[in-house]
Structure 1
Amino acid sequence: MDEAEIIPGNVGSEISTMEPGTGSTNISVLSIPQAGCNNIGEFTCGYEENRGGTHPPPCTQMGPVVELRAQLRAQNDELRMALTHLLPLLAPLLILPTPVIPADRPPAPTLSLDTRYTVYLPGERVTLTCSAPEPERVSGYRFFSQEGQQDPSVVQHPNGGARLELTAEKGNAGTYTCAYWRQESNREISSRNSNSVSIPVTDTPAAPTLSLSPPRWLYLTGESVRLTCSPPRGDEAVTRFQFYKYRGSIISPDVLSNSGATNFKLKLEDSGSYTCLYWIHPSGREIPSVKSAPVSISVRDPPPAPTLSLDPEYTVYLPGERVTLTCSAPGSELDWRYRFFYQGQQDPSVVQPPNEGARLELTAEKGNAGTYTCAYWRQESYREISSRNSSSVSIPVTDPPPQPALSVDPPSGVVSEGIPLLITCTAPRNTGQQRFHFYKDRAELIPGDVGSEINATEPRTVSMNTSVLRIPLNSSNNTGEFSCGYEENVGGRWIPSPRSWAVTVTGNVTVSARSFLWVRELVVGGSFFLINGLIFLVSHCCF
């Protein structure tokens, strides 16, 4: 050392060497247990060979220890083989020379992270800052990385500055320390190592699967769709989900539950591509997953509503009446199919017309009374495209009014001279507006018709439920078959009742059935006068 030989076991030098071998071993090692003020300098070595009891002059290798690249030119094969194995082990010393450090090293710096996480994801940027204490003079910084049980290694960084920027990845995960150094007396003096910081790196959670329900190529405005975000099986640590529209627009402002699903009614502006992701919470940090593969939603307006009409169009229908519903699509396209919807007392049901045409013919009855709508449709984009429903039409069905009763006054059918015969038509109920009609020989009698010589009272349109037919006694045209009927106003439509039973009037004042006793008495009385008259004529002429 500095041209002076180092004596083995010299404690004062704070350096000890192994005893030079006296056998066939051709290597000797100088051990430096701790850096100190007495072990700084230039080191050389040499060796002697014992040839017949004499020691030739030693062979001395000049140069510092870091120049071990110089080959010892030993003459025996064992020395050459040993150097062949030794040089690869000493190669790192040739690349990164270790400065000899005095015992009074500068104090340790502080190592910090700009963003401290309990775990990092691949690709995240991490900055380590090494801060020397004031007022230490610093020429440069070194950072050291240690992964697992491996020895620390120096991390190369530009300019030897105080900041080390990393991109987190599995290959650089581990524990980091740092130190600073300065040049002093033509040599490098290094500080103690800083505190350690850990940079664990974990994989980003795998992408979930985003699905649509119902799955379709094309959706119509107003339809509902359900988006479901499903993480990979076995990932139980999910904390929340989020859905994104193309270009990153968040469509669900609230944090969703573990169901990972959201429902919404579609509008035209909902067309686009959607993705989703989920978060997990390992080691105290919430970590987002990779985004799912996108799914596409295409939305358009349904075809405009058709027009539904009735023929005939009544406010109310009678059982047995025929009614035709016609569904008319706008425009000139002819390849549409049609369906009708019926809503009675229960849930709506579909009524299919023959050949899915635009006309539906019904026979009105209580069982099909209700509200009807219609729509037109066709197959497009692997689904059924249906128009909006038409406005509804109503088909109420009611029974006709009950049959009226026809009566004569007086009930005996016997009338005094000059007193007319009255025939009365009575409806069995008072339901509001009613109109009465009288018929003679099945032809309607018009009120006030002088030619018929019969005068009927004006049919009433108020709440009274009777009407009277007056037959003058001196009328020469008052015989025949009489009946009556009436109409009720139901929702603006006049509904006719069945006709009453007929009453037959014969002669001037003869009424069959109900006037039978009065006619019999008339015949008997007439016969009496006729017989007495004949007797009177015979007795007068002959005697």
Structure 2
Amino acid sequence: MFLQLSGSLHQRLSLTMLPSTSTLVLVSLIGCLDLAVKAPPAPPSLSFVAGYVVYMTGEPATLRCGVSGTQSILGYQFYKDGAKVTEGHFTPSQGTYSIAGVNKGTAGPYSCAYWTLDAGVAVLSRESPAIVLYVIDHLPTPVLSLEPPSSTYIAGEPVTLFCVHPKADSVVEYRFYKDGAEAPREGGSPSDSTYRIRKATESMEGWYSCLYRSEARGRAIRSMESPRQFLSVTAQPPAPSIALNPEYPVYITGEPLTLSCASPGPAGVTGYRFYKDGREVTERSSVSQREYVISGVTNLTAGMYSCIYWIAERQRDIPALPSAPVTVVVIDPLHPPVFSLTPSNGCVEDGDNLTLPAQLHPLQKNRDVLHQGW
């Protein structure tokens, strides 16, 4: 399309900066000024320097306006929601637009254009296709919890660590850390929020934390690391020894018996427990006593006995390994011996022998027992 201007307007027309929708090109000057409308330069491309479109509140973001070809670029113009956010030639020549810290107000579609020279005239290109800046809040910081809860764990006990946080979309991975270094997990899925220790050892003691990772529009987003939790692991104290007093291979019904439990070291013992055939027989009111007294044994007393002690460590009672067992055998009182006479009539002459054999209970051979009353 051509526009004709009268000669009187020629001297008042200054060809400087023209609108971006067209370029006016001088065709001829023969008594009047003939101008042609030319299409603006090709649009540039717009991209995020970081390579992703999702940003968390407060993060910086930089957009780059890219121009193909070798034309001379005078400046760049950036738009948000179709409105200018920069002023033409004042935009730095590298073609970038930076946001120091994104927020909900900076989210939205962005585009750009560039200024170039065409026949000595500064013209503005068409706008680039728009790209959208998405802004999301930071992922909630998780909390690490230990189950079962305890101030310390005994070597060999199981412990499970849970990475707990408010519901978040598209969580793809959890990571656990010990003393600042990632703690590898044995099997399981990366999306599992638990870290399982089947048998705790003293080498596992340390400070633990966790974080989780989500994905939003192709970007991996990590939460902040949870506050650290200390996992304390202690070895089980050594086994005590158990003794019988009096010490007999067998006990007769009604006899007294005392069992004593002795710890091997100087550690402060806070209590003792006695067990018969694997079941505790200690009364809770007497757990601080290192002796278990039976005033008179019965047939129900017979069995395998053991004991443990425990110490207080890090606000928990730590039981020792059990002692080696001792066996208590209980028998009824011995029957009177049975006598026989030889000769059976009991009559002997002077100088002859009289034999009185007695038959004893078989267990009496292992213990000296005096039966009275015969």
| TM-score, normalised relative to structure 2 | 0.71
- Shift of residue 260, structure 1, vs aligned partner: 4.5
Following superposition, the deviation at residue 275 of structure 1 comes to 2.2
Q: Which is richer in helix?
A: 1
1:202 offset after TM fit, Å?
A: 0.6
| Aligned-partner SS, 2:244 | strand
**Secondary structure, aligned partner of 2:78:** strand
Match of 1:198 among 102, 111, 132: 132
Choose from 37, 44, 66 the match for 1:109: 44
- On the 8 A contact 1:128/1:163 being kept in 2, the answer is yes
Structure 2 unmatched runs, 5+:
27-35
Report the alpha carbon displacement of residue 264 of structure 1 after superposing the two structures with TM. Answer: 4.7
* Residue of structure 2 equivalent to 1:483: 358
Indicate conservation of the 8 Å contact 1:238/1:258, yes or no.
Answer: no
Which whole-Å deviations, capped at 9, do the CAs of 1:268-307 have from their partners, x for residues lacking one?
3333332223344555655433332332334444544433
Structure 1: how far apart are the matches of 2:176 and 2:162?
A: 9
CA contact (8 A) 1:121 1:201 kept: yes
2:331 is aligned to 399
More displaced stretch, 251-260 vs 204-213? 251-260
**Structure-1 residue corresponding to 2:68:** 133
**Aligned with 1:37 (options 24, 35, 40):** 24
Aligned position for 2:32: none
Once residues 257 and 475 of structure 1 are traced to their aligned partners in structure 2, the CA distance between those partners, rounded to angstroms, is 105
Match for 2:258: what amino acid?
A: T
Deviation at 1:497, TM superposition (A): 9.1
The residue correspondences of 1:143-542 to structure 2 (distance < 5 A) are 144-147=78-81, 151-154=83-86, 159-162=92-95, 169-170=102-103, 171-183=105-117, 186-232=120-166, 235=168, 238-250=171-183, 252=185, 254-255=188-189, 260=194, 262-281=196-215, 287-332=221-266, 336-344=269-277, 347-348=279-280, 350-352=282-284, 354=286, 356-362=288-294, 363-368=296-301, 369-378=303-312, 381=314, 383-399=315-331, 406=338, 421=343, 476=351, 478-479=353-354, 483-488=358-363, 494=366
Are the counterparts in 2 of residues 140 and 160 from structure 1 also a CA contact under 8 Å?
yes
Q: Which residue is 1:76 aligned to?
A: none
User: Structure 2 CA distance, aligned partners of 1:475 and 1:138?
Assistant: 154
Contact 1:353 1:359 in 2 (8 A): no
- Residues in 1 aligned to 2:99 and 2:263: alpha-carbon distance in whole angstroms: 67
- Conserved in 2, the CA contact under 8 Å of 1:340 and 1:353? no
Q: Secondary structure at the match of 1:201?
A: strand
Q: Give the Å deviation of 1:198.
A: 1.8
Q: Indicate how the Cα distance of structure 1 residues 306 and 140 shifts in structure 2: closer, same or farther if over 3 A, else same.
A: farther
Decide which structure has the larger Cα Rg and report it: 1
Q: 1:259 to 1:318 in 2, by over 3 A?
A: farther
- TM-superposed CA distance for 1:474, in Å, is 6.4
Q: Deviations over 1:427-462 (max 9, x none)?
A: xxxxxxxxxxxxxxxxxxxxxxxxxxxxxxxxxxxx
What is the rounded CA distance, in whole Å, between the counterparts of 1:121 and 1:173 in structure 2? 11
TM-fit CA distance, 1:356: 1.3
CA distance in 2, matches of 1:258, 1:236: 15
Following TM superposition, by how much is the alpha carbon of 1:203 offset from its aligned partner in structure 2, in angstroms?
0.8
Secondary structure of the 1:137 match is coil
Distance 1:215 1:168, change over 3 A: same
Greater RCO (Cα-Cα under 8 Å, separation 6 or more): 2
Distance in 2 (alpha carbons) for counterparts of 1:477 and 1:288: 110
How many Å apart are 1:201 and its aligned residue?
1.4
Contact 1:317 1:395 (8 Å CA) reproduced: no
Q: CA deviation at 1:115?
A: 5.0
How many pairs does the alignment contain? 351
Contact between 1:400 and 1:497, CA under 8 Å: does it hold in 2? no
Normalising by structure 1, we get a TM-score of 0.52
State the 1:146 CA deviation: 1.0
AA partner of residue 339 (structure 1): Y
1:209-263 CA distances to partner (integer Å, 9 max, x unpaired)?
A: 322344444444444443333222x557655543322314235454366665645
CA RMSD of aligned residues (A): 4.7
Go from structure 1 to structure 2 and tell me whether the alpha carbon gap of 1:308 and 1:231 turns closer, same or farther (over 3 Å shift): same
Q: Percent identity?
A: 24
Q: Deviations over 1:169-198 (max 9, x none)?
A: 225332232334334555423332222222
Counterpart amino acid of residue 296 in structure 1: F
Measured at CA, do residues 175 and 355 of structure 1 come closer, stay the same or move farther in structure 2, by a change above 3 Å?
closer
1:529: which partner in 2?
none
Cα contact 1:144–1:154 (8 A) shared by 2? yes
